[in-house]
Structure formats: structure tokens, C-alpha cells
Structure 1
């Protein structure tokens, strides 16, 4: 039922106006719009016929961002926006005209999953500093998307609690938003002035529009905010919410069935207008996605993507400086066990249990961002059995541990910042502790055309002695216009090690890099977009000095008038490489011959029902019969706006590559091998509506390695054939995962998820089995069958208190 329009509101609404002002710093025109307070508010249902909207002035005159940057919006695709507010939040109405409403793209997806969709949205910057905004988007199918937008980019891991609906009409489509003030950040002032922009995409024409013009010569969207005025005397609400969860699991493996029940809670509290406290109590990450494990023959560990919600949401401050790798928390135990001759390990924990974690983050009205993160993990034991006496003992493999991250990030002059980051790991007892500190800066000139950046970082690892290392970088670049460039240099010392709470691999090297890029700013007769890049990179070992590698690279990307994307590139190492990491021994290196790499790729129009991507990459080495062929084929078919299937296959063949296989008192051994890898994945999704979806994810990874010859590594980096190494290192690795997930977002922030998982993996000490034999042996392994049900419910204090 629609609410009636009040006379008082009619009188007040006449104060709303739209204008513009010029920013004298960079001559960017900032449109102005004003809103007023109203006790009468619309129902958020996508129907804009509420009387409350009738006399609210309209913001319109959108401007094309791409492909024709700066062109006024066509009248046929006119966009109109109206805004008002009350004590609870901001109300937004958007009207999108379209001459062919039946062709409006409205594919249903899960939340945060924009696909083949028309969409509209707005960005709000409560501090009006052109450096940080919250982004709220609704598709024509009614699907929500939100993100944090900063000068560093878009962080879509942030999920706000807000309300929206969309509706297709006779002359286009409409959308309504209600954004609670509790989701926004702004200074404590009687009169507010916020940065704002409004945007729209028409999918079938692939055109983006913005209310305040966004100049594509610049490198930051946030520079082009308009100004929202008129919000006054907002009564602050208590920002407190709870998210309790209950979950149950049934696991079956190798004939045994186990069950468990869990309960816990996430808490979010607004300390003040700028800072938020987040805490997870007795967390449950059992429904996080499987890791995409591979057969890793490199000298470095594999880095996995973080998939646990608490560690992905609202962590943009903590990611600065690349000192924080959250997978270290709750990862593998750090301790090692020394076994006696008659002992064996009967039980060893795969993961360390997280006890609790919290984070405090926010930014003051003077641009100072502060973040503090803390996590505690539990003591973990391994079980050891004496095979002679049968005696059982337990040994600590991970003590109680405390992890901390502190970040101070000062922004200034619209697009510049200086940051200080510190991470520390403190373990109970005699286990090792660690600390890392970084100072970062990114300074732009007033016109935002040039950027000077760099960092100074140090690491301390404390065991019986303290190990100190550094990693530093300095760079300068042009970030504006058609022609851009960047030059930078970096030094990483031998003892750089942040692997207690970060992720580091290569050490003891210096690198020098130069880059030039050209981009098409306005469409040409044949192309909508062109990007050309030229790169040169030089690497050396620091101590003792040794040439490592010199890489030349050129790559291109084009988009034609049919919105097909394609490109190609070449890369060469004309002097070969002295690989200082593959021998796994200090001071040694392996000579790698020079190579010429070429690739080509094509991506069809994503608006079509059938869409495909293909990529072919070929490395030709300056060594007889040594090459690498890597290909990828992706195909997606959209059966309807509710159902789509996505298939990807990635075969690669590495012929006569050389790599480390072992060492003994006689020296270091290198093997020449043939490696074949095939990764096959299938994802399909049926979306019932914008709150309910069923998805299936499948991945099979296969890699086999066949050794042809073994060598001894010489001191000059060359290799000499040997018969002293006689181990059989031929192998085949398989990883098979299936996820079947049903998700229902039954209320804002609340979700019910049912998940079935099937997982099998094996490693065989033989290769070239043939497909049938390989699958027979894989499916002879015991499989993991996991059924889980998890309920998460969002409770807002301001709503809950009214229940009583």
C-alpha cells in the first residue's frame, strides 16, 4: 500500500536543487545535488509511483564513460534519479529509459555476481576526499552488488546490509534503494557534504554512463565525484549487529562416518562514526571452497586464495604492503618432530584451529586510516607411537600463537598516501617468533599526471638468533593520458622472510624495470579500445653478484566494434637465465637457455548466449627439443536468464624441461623431464530468483612427470650426465573435487546453505598410465563425502530493540 504525500513535505522539497562547481586544483567539474529529510518514505519495491517521489526534482544529463568518453547520453536511454532521506538512511529512485524494454539484459545471478545484465548504481564518499567510496549496484534482475572503492581499486569482498528492488516497465526499468546510514561512514557534523556519483550500463550496447563526467585520461574513478548536500542533523544510531550461526556436518571417509555440530557468532560494532569492530567467536570455515591444488615441482610453496569470509571482508587496509597472508592463520603446523628409530607418527593435525579473531578499522575525517587485526590459534598436538613398546606420546607441533597486524594509512591531496604497516607473530614457548614492518608511499602531483611511489620493508625472525632482511622498491611513472610509462627498481636481501604471517619466495636479488604503455582514449573507425605495452626487466643476484635474467616483453589488447576482445604478445630472454633458486642450495645456479615466447588470445562477445575464450602460448627454448605449449579454452552457454554452464579445459605440455631432483654428498642432481598437465573444470548454476540459487562446481586436475635423464649440476651452472642418481621419480598426481551447493538468502544478511562435497586425490609413482588406467586407480582411492548445513542470521540492534 502506497503512502500519502504530505503538504509539509511539498513545502520542504522545493529546497532541492542541482548545480555544479569547478575543482580549482585540476579543473574537474563537480555537479551538485541536494536532498532533504522526509518523514514520509517510499516502499522499496521497484514501483516508483509512490506519491512521495512525485515532486522530488530530478538529476539527469548522464555522460558516456565508454566507449565514447564525454558524449552526452542519448535521449532514448535517458536516466533520472531522485533522492531523499530520514533518520534511518538514504532513499534512491532511478528511472532508466529504454526504447526496447524486451531487450533489457536481466540474467539472474547470486549476490555480487553481475553477468549479462543492465545495471545502475551509485558511489557515496562520506568524507568527500575523492579517495574512498562505497559502491551500491542493482541489476535489472534485482541482484545486489556492493564494494569499497578506493584509489587502489575495487574491493568487492565488502558486503553491506541494504535494501533494493528493480522492475521492468513499459518504457525501460526502475530501481529503488534504501541504504542505512549505519552502513556508511561520515564525519560527526551537523551539516554533511558527501562525494557522490551515479552510473548505468546498457548491456546490449555495452555503453557505460555516469552522472558526473569521468575522464578516462585519469587513472582513478574516485577523482570524479559530484557533491551531495542537504543531509543535516542525522541522529546517530548504535551500529551494532550480531550474526550467529549454527552448522552441522556429516563426513564419510574410507568406511567411517563422523558427525559434528557447531555454533558461533560474528559481532560488528561501530565504535564511533568512523571505526568498526569486527569479531568472530568460535569460527566455522567448513564451507569454504576447495583449494585448487597442483603438482608443485618449483622451489617455492604454492600460494592459495583466501576463501574464509572473515578474512576477505573489509581487509583492504591490511593488504597494503603485501605483508599479510591470512592463510598463515589456521594453516599447517609450524613445528617439526624428531622421531626415534622405532617410532612412527599415527596422527598429525592438517590444520591449526582458530580460537578467535577480531579487527578494528576505519578512517578519520582527516584521511587517516587505522586498522588493527588480532587472531589467536590453539595449541595442536601430534601423536607418536613406539612400535616396539606400543607406548603412545604426544608432542606439540603448534603452540598457542598470537597474530597481529597494525596499519596506519594517511591519505592527502586527493590521490596520495603514506602507510605504515607492522605484522607480528608471537608463539608460546621455544617456537619461533617474527615481526615485519613496512613504510609505503604513493605521491601524485596536483594534476594527477605523475606518480612517485616506493616502500621500505624489514623482516625479523627470532629463534635462537635473530635474522633480519629487507625488501625495498622505488618507482616513478606517468599515469595520465594516451602515453604512460613507469620505471622502478627493487632490492630483496638474502634474509628477507615474512612467511610467519606473510608470503615471500625469491630473495637475494635486485630488479630493474621499465614499462611504456599506449591506450586509445576515444574509439577509432575499427576499434573501441587499444592497449599496447612494452616492458624490459633486468634481474641480478645480490650476494655474490651474478647476472640472473633479462626479459623483453611486448603485449597488445584490442576491442573491435563487435565488442570482441583479442590480443597477442611476444617475450624473449636473449641472454638466457642463471636460475639461483632451482638448485635449492646457496651460491649455486642452473643455466636455463634463452627462449622466445609468443601467444595469442581471443574472447568473443560476452553479450551472446554462447561465449568462448581461447588462448595459445608457446615457448621455444634455445635447446634441442625443449619447448612448452600451454593452451586454454573456455566456453559458456547461457540457456536462459536463470541457467548457465561454464566449462574450461587447460592442457599444457612441457618437453625436456630441467629441474632439481635431489642431492647427496656427491652433489646436486638435475633431471630432464616430460610433463603433461590437464585441468578440466565445469561450473553450472540455476538461479531461482535473486535470493535463491543452486550451483555445481567440478574440477579435475591431472599432471604426470616422466624423467628421461639425470645430471650432476656443475659449479658453472651447466650439467653433466650421471648414472649415480637411480631413484624413480616418475609420478602422476590427480585431484578431483565436486561441490553441489544450495543457497537461500532469506533475509538481508541472512543465509541458509546446504553443501555436498566429494573429493578424491592420489599420487602414483609411475607415469603415462593411459586415461582408463589412471581413472581406475584414482577411483580405487577412498573418497571424502561431506554433507553440511549452515544457517547464518543477521540481527541488527536497532531493529531488534523494537521487538521488545
Structure 2
């Protein structure tokens, strides 16, 4: 392992030295002055307010794609103006269009953009070229917003409170926006200077423009911000808001009906213009989207995306380094009770209840980001009944627990950062406690052509009066030369690395060496608008004890032609085979998987058309008789009009003659040869009444079966010996059925009413190769969950409420 650590530091040293040698690139930054509004403009999309008559104009937009750097088409000029007062920033934009009847204006739900022309404001209160608020308004009046950073890209889980209005005109369309200061972060200063840029998409032409030119040859989008001057001597109001909620549920399951009513509140307080406190009191996540569960036969747990808004919004600091997996909070209990032969569960809660959660985050004037997150979950107990006596005993499956994340993130030189992240979980009593700390470096030269990155993380777990320490680290570089990009990385993780209390660990005890090359068209050529080719080579080894794991060559090609037909394919090859150190579920053992090759192709028709179809086919052929895997997917969408669309996805996978773990005893590890099929069928449709109201139907049925043909014992060299002693039935069929019918109404900014009907069923059968009819009969004989819920949230701004009382 010492050799790998020396390689890590060599990567960092060479990269750091190279990054210091470059001279600063001169990037032109346009400037625009904001004017103070004595009277706030009406946010209705009609640009006749007094403030807009003499305000400076941001114009002369530059094409971003497909012809990067070309001056804007005179038929599609864009003009933008900015104003401000003590409550927020105002923006007006006029998008000229010689054929306004062709402007894309499909209605969608908030944060979704369909067949739409749209305008985007990028605004960065720190002017550090590393983060911005990204505020979209479509020509249909739909809002979308995200926080965008150089490290994490766009995060649409954030939902801000801001105002917009649009108007379709005889010569184009116009938009007005107001962004309250309570949604922005900026340092305290008499004269503000903010980063700003404006973006316009003309959907039917698939052409995009920006005000300040964004060079697609190098660097991130945010590096090319313009400058907003003129915001001076603002007296920002108190940043305090409340989001109370009310929810009610009616549940029907297995012949029983239950009801419950909940209430609680989220609170947001601006400690100052740069730092904000968010807290949720008595949270309720009953209307979170369902998880796409699958039949998981692998050695690692399935990882789900976060569906709860509080854990999604404003967490860009806490997600650095991928050490925080918020699904651990309020997830499964950490202990599963052991039952005696004469015992059964009377009740065993699958989820731990969250008491409250709080986060504080912001950034200083000198670029230091500080984040603090804390959550407390309640004690959870299982009720266990003695079958003979009926006596009930209690067993704690999760004690009172505290979850904590602390982040320091220093940005410097407009494109570089160093971060420290610490996570900890403390549980009452003799339950497991854990702590993890990581340091991350991202250093880019001033010409934005070369970057070096690295990290080191440690984990500590305290359980049964014992301590376990684990380590992981990485180092790498990327270099850009016009349309060419090169990179290399080394990554290692020892066998004891464990962040599963508040993170997600996955594979351990390995080192990976990788190198990659990417080529892309910077400008359209011939009949091709975009082309991207990449090749990546990976060499994986087991760390303890050293063992070859696999060698992988992975190629991919993507092309979009002038008619916006997107297609491509690729090839992955493992020419030597794989020593799988995880499938045996035993340290020091491995399962040999023969060499394989995996070609695939994909295609997608023009997104702008009413009917769109796409999909892919991939094929895995192993150097073993009849061992083949086939996976395909087809997805379709039909847009009936600007209000109604329907989507369908069908995925099929067939794994023939694969091998996998089935069990072990004191002397043997048993491997089974199996046939596995899965089908996932999902349908969604949306009818949008207007930009504030929609109804959605989402359906998913997932089916997977596994049938075993032969069992083996695993030899020390990874090969298999036929076995006739293993007698357990491992065949199985898994079904997951979910249907959601949701009505949503954004009746005021930040305020929403949601009515949801949910139907769920799930089963696992210890048989396989059932007919489709028999399988569905058995599924629908299972008890199904039927749930109706109503949730109302109302955004209450302290300053508005204060004015109400003054009027009274």
C-alpha cells in the first residue's frame, strides 16, 4: 500500500507544480449597471414600467451552440435590463423573434422544461466564478431554478421563492423577474459587484446565446460571468420566513383503515446576508416519491436517490466529497432483532422517525464556505410476541441518535478550492458510533487548461468496545488542448474504510489506475452538429493481499446531426477476465469471471417533434459456453399539445448462465449458475392546466426472476467445483408495483397544495418460470396499500406578515 500512497502524492506534486507555471488568461467581462427603482415594476411581463425606459441595456449576445462564438442573429436579438431596490433585484428581457407563432411554449410542472423557448438569469453574489443561482423562465411562464457550482454542476432540488411574468408579443416575447435578497447570498458591502450572465434558448432552432461569451474550448460555464455594478447602499430586510404545513392521510391495507393528521414547520433565518439557518420541526415526508426497488442479488445494498425536499435543498456544501448520504437519516434501524424459535414480531418499524434537522450554511467575503448540519432521530423499538404465552417484550433497534456534518470549503483564484468535511453519528448506549473526515483539493491553472485534484479520507467506527480505522485517497489530473482532453487518476480504498453510518461505502480493499481521452467537435462540421468520442482504460487490483482484479477498455461515441437525430454506440472489453473479490462475501476469496466484450448502440429522434422515440441495445458475450447477457430499452413520448404529454419506458434484461453467491457454511462457499430475467415497465403522463397547476400519473411495474441450474463450491483459485450437496431452493420471483396519481397547485409563491393517491404492492415468491398470468394473479392476491393524502404548505415571509399587522 505504501507504493500506492507514494503515487498519490507524486500526482499531486507534479500537478501542483504544473498548475503554478501558467499565466493568467485574459477573459473579457462585459459590465452592466443596475439602476435603483424608486417604484417597483409590476412583474407581469409587460415592459412599460417607468424604471425600464432609461435603464442601461445588455445586448450583443454571442452564440453558445452550435456555432460557439458567432454574433447573434439580427432576427433574434435579445435585450436585458437590471434594476434594484432594498428588497431585491429586477430583470427585464426582450427576446425578439420574427415568427412569434413558432415560439415554443409547452406547459410543464415547475423545474421541468419541455418544448420551450426559455430565458435564464445567472447571478453570483460573491463574484467568484464558482457558483451561481440559475433562474429559468419559459415562454409559457413556467419557472425552474437551480444552484450551479463548478464541482457539482446544476442542482435542481433547490426551490427558491422569486417572481416572474411573461408576455407573447407581435415581435417576440418578454419576461420580467424579481429575485428577493432573501434568496441570494452576498458579502456585506456598501457597493456590491456581482457576477452575472444571461442565457437564451430558441428551441425550434436548437440555438443558444449568452450575453457574456462562453468559450467552449476550456474552463467552466461560470468562469465567463459578466459583471453587475450599481447596486449600492441597500438596506436588506430581515431574512426570516416560515413554511408551515398540514397533512392528512387515509391508509387502507389488508382490510384495515387508519387515518392520521400531521402538522409542522420549516423555518429559514438569514443570520446575515451571507449565512442562513434552515430547520425542520416535526417533519413529514409521507408524500415523497416511491423508490425504484429491484431484485438485488449483489453483495452491496441498493442506493436510492433522496426524495425529501429538506435534505435536497441548499445542500451543495454538504455533498462535497460524496461523504454524506442523507437517506441514512430516518432510514432503516441499525439493529435487527434475533427471534427465538417460539417468537414472532408483533411490530418491527422499518423506518426511524426524525425529530428535527437543522443546517447552517454560507460563505464569507474571502470565499470561505462554512456548513453545519445536525439531525436527531428518536428511539425505535421492536415489539416481539411469545407465540405460546402471548407475552410481549421490547427490543431497541435504534436508540436516540445524533447525525452531524461539518464542512469548510475555501475557494481561491476563481477556479480552485480546498475543502474539509467531517461527518459523525452518535447513538445512545452501547450502539455503534462513527466518524469520518476528508480533505479535498481541486487546483486549476489560470488558463483553465490544466487541473489537478486529490483527496484523502479516513473513517473511524466504534462498536463493541472496539475501534476500526479505514482510509481512502485519490489523485489525478485533467488537461484540455482545444477539442482534446486527457486525464489520469489513481484511487485506493482499504478494507476497513466504512462510512455507512452517514455515507455510502460500496466496494472496499482495492486500488484503481485509470487514464482517459476525450475528443469533441467545438464547431459543427458538415452534417454533424455535435460529436464526442471518449476512451477510458482502468486497471483494478485488490489491495490486501495484492491480486489482479480486472483490466477494462471502455469506448463511447455520441453524434447529433443537423436534424437533431442523436445516435452512437460503444464497446467495453475485459480481455483478461475478472477476479471478483466481492461476490464470495468472504475476505480473501474471489470468483473468476471469464473475459468478455460488451458492444452497444443507442439512438434518439428529434426532441422537438410531437412524437419522440429512443432506446438502446447492449450485449455481453463471455468466453464461456452459453454465457450471454442482453439488455435493451425503448422509450417513447407523445406530446398531444402544449398541455398534455405521455411517456412510456420498457426495459428488458436477460442474464443467461451467470454465476453468483448462494450461501456458505464453515468450510465451503457455494456458487450457483442461474438464468435471470427482468422487465421494467413504466408509464407517466402529465396534464398541465397552467404554469401553477398540474395533474400527474406515474406507474411502474418491475418484475425479476432467477432460476438456478447448477451449484458449485468455490476453489481457492476462483474456479468452480460441481456440487451435489447444496439443497436449498434459491429460485425466486420479485414484483414491485407502484402507482401515483398526483394533483399539484402552486397557489402562491412557495406555497403548494398536493393531493395524492398511491397504490403499492410487492411480493417475493420462492419459485421461478411462472406464466405472466400466474405471476400477476399471485401479486394481486397480496395485500395492497391504498393511500390518499392531502398536504398544504404555505410560505410566510416575516416582512409581509409584519406589514399585515401594521395595517391592522
TM-score interval, normalised by the smaller of the two chains: over 0.9
1:322 match: 322
1:691 match: 692
1:4 match: none
Does the 8 A contact of 1:318 with 1:405 survive in 2?
A: yes
Q: Distance in 1 between matches of 2:615 and 2:773?
A: 27
1:597 match: 598
1:447-458 correspondence to structure 2 within 5 Å: 447-458=447-458
1:97 match: 96
Task: Please say if 1:581 is aligned against 2:587.
Answer: no
2:780 match: 779
Deviates more, 1:25-34 or 1:437-446: 25-34
| Structure possessing the higher relative contact order (Cα contacts under 8 Å, 6 or more residues apart) | 2
In the alignment of these two chains, the number of paired residues is 781
Does the 8 A contact of 2:33 with 2:56 survive in 1?
A: no
2:150 match: 151
Q: Distance in 2 between matches of 1:40 and 1:389?
A: 78
SS of the residue corresponding to residue 606 of structure 1 reads coil
Query: Residues 509 and 182 from structure 1, CA distance in 2 versus in 1: closer, same or farther, beyond 3 angstroms?
Result: same
SS of the residue corresponding to residue 231 of structure 2 reads strand
1:676 match: 677
Post-superposition offset of 1:345 = 2.1
Q: Distance in 1 between matches of 2:147 and 2:304?
A: 23
Query: Deviations along 1:239-273, whole A, 9 cap, x unmatched?
Result: 00000000000000010000000000000000011
Q: Distance in 2 between matches of 1:751 and 1:224?
A: 36
2:25 match: 26
Task: Please say if 1:707 is aligned against 2:711.
Answer: no
Query: Deviations along 1:42-96, whole A, 9 cap, x unmatched?
Result: 2111111234322223221100000000000001000111121111111111111
Does the 8 A contact of 1:508 with 1:541 survive in 2?
A: yes
SS of the residue corresponding to residue 316 of structure 1 reads coil
1:591-630 correspondence to structure 2 within 5 Å: 591-630=592-631
2:380 match: 380
Does the 8 A contact of 1:450 with 1:480 survive in 2?
A: no
1:26-65 correspondence to structure 2 within 5 Å: 26-65=25-64
1:327-342 correspondence to structure 2 within 5 Å: 327-342=327-342
Q: Distance in 2 between matches of 1:151 and 1:479?
A: 16
Task: Please say if 1:654 is aligned against 2:658.
Answer: no
Query: Deviations along 1:332-356, whole A, 9 cap, x unmatched?
Result: 0001323333222221011000000
2:256 match: 256
Q: Could you say what the CA RMSD is over the residues aligned between the two structures, in angstroms?
A: 0.9
Structure 1, unpaired ranges of 5+ = 1-23
SS of the residue corresponding to residue 777 of structure 2 reads helix
Does the 8 A contact of 1:245 with 1:791 survive in 2?
A: yes
Does the 8 A contact of 1:615 with 1:632 survive in 2?
A: yes
Query: Deviations along 1:14-37, whole A, 9 cap, x unmatched?
Result: xxxxxxxxxx93111100110221
SS of the residue corresponding to residue 201 of structure 1 reads strand
1:299 match: 299
Does the 8 A contact of 1:219 with 1:480 survive in 2?
A: no
Q: Distance in 1 between matches of 2:275 and 2:165?
A: 29
1:308 match: 308
2:742 match: 741
TM-score (norm 2): 0.96
Q: Distance in 1 between matches of 2:233 and 2:388?
A: 78
Post-superposition offset of 1:481 = 2.2
Q: Distance in 2 between matches of 1:399 and 1:351?
A: 13
1:554 match: 555
Does the 8 A contact of 1:697 with 1:739 survive in 2?
A: yes
1:427 match: 427
Q: Which runs of 4+ in 1 moved over 6 A?
A: none
1:285 match: 285
Q: Distance in 2 between matches of 1:375 and 1:313?
A: 15
Post-superposition offset of 1:641 = 0.4
Task: Please say if 1:414 is aligned against 2:437.
Answer: no
Task: Please say if 1:439 is aligned against 2:468.
Answer: no
Q: Distance in 1 between matches of 2:307 and 2:396?
A: 27
2:230 match: 230
Q: Distance in 2 between matches of 1:362 and 1:772?
A: 56
Post-superposition offset of 1:480 = 5.2
Q: Distance in 2 between matches of 1:494 and 1:441?
A: 24
Deviates more, 1:44-53 or 1:543-552: 44-53
Q: Distance in 2 between matches of 1:99 and 1:621?
A: 57
Does the 8 A contact of 1:96 with 1:173 survive in 2?
A: yes
2:214 match: 214
Query: Residues 480 and 125 from structure 1, CA distance in 2 versus in 1: closer, same or farther, beyond 3 angstroms?
Result: farther
Query: Residues 628 and 96 from structure 1, CA distance in 2 versus in 1: closer, same or farther, beyond 3 angstroms?
Result: same
2:789 match: 788
SS of the residue corresponding to residue 76 of structure 1 reads helix
SS of the residue corresponding to residue 237 of structure 1 reads coil
1:397 match: 397
2:136 match: 137
Query: Deviations along 1:284-306, whole A, 9 cap, x unmatched?
Result: 00000010000000000000110
Does the 8 A contact of 2:32 with 2:56 survive in 1?
A: no
SS of the residue corresponding to residue 204 of structure 1 reads helix
Does the 8 A contact of 2:678 with 2:703 survive in 1?
A: yes
1:112 match: 111
Query: Residues 426 and 538 from structure 1, CA distance in 2 versus in 1: closer, same or farther, beyond 3 angstroms?
Result: same
Task: Please say if 1:124 is aligned against 2:123.
Answer: yes
2:73 match: 74
2:8 match: none
2:4 match: none
1:9 match: none
Post-superposition offset of 1:115 = 1.3
Post-superposition offset of 1:479 = 3.9
Q: Distance in 1 between matches of 2:496 and 2:804?
A: 59
Post-superposition offset of 1:604 = 0.9
Does the 8 A contact of 1:63 with 1:209 survive in 2?
A: yes
Task: Please say if 1:644 is aligned against 2:670.
Answer: no
Post-superposition offset of 1:236 = 2.0
Query: Deviations along 1:557-596, whole A, 9 cap, x unmatched?
Result: 1111111111110011110000000000111100000100
Task: Please say if 1:719 is aligned against 2:713.
Answer: no
Does the 8 A contact of 2:34 with 2:56 survive in 1?
A: no
1:88 match: 87
1:12 match: none
Does the 8 A contact of 1:434 with 1:459 survive in 2?
A: yes
SS of the residue corresponding to residue 175 of structure 1 reads strand
Post-superposition offset of 1:727 = 1.2
Q: Distance in 1 between matches of 2:596 and 2:490?
A: 24
Deviates more, 1:38-47 or 1:761-770: 38-47
Q: Distance in 1 between matches of 2:502 and 2:553?
A: 34
Query: Deviations along 1:189-241, whole A, 9 cap, x unmatched?
Result: 11111111011000000000000000001231110011111110000210000
Does the 8 A contact of 2:185 with 2:273 survive in 1?
A: yes
SS of the residue corresponding to residue 284 of structure 2 reads coil
2:762 match: 761
2:9 match: none
SS of the residue corresponding to residue 774 of structure 1 reads helix
2:731 match: 730
Query: Deviations along 1:94-132, whole A, 9 cap, x unmatched?
Result: 111111111100010111111110000211111111111
Deviates more, 1:34-43 or 1:245-254: 34-43
Q: Distance in 2 between matches of 1:534 and 1:340?
A: 55
1:495-506 correspondence to structure 2 within 5 Å: 495-506=496-507
Post-superposition offset of 1:477 = 1.3
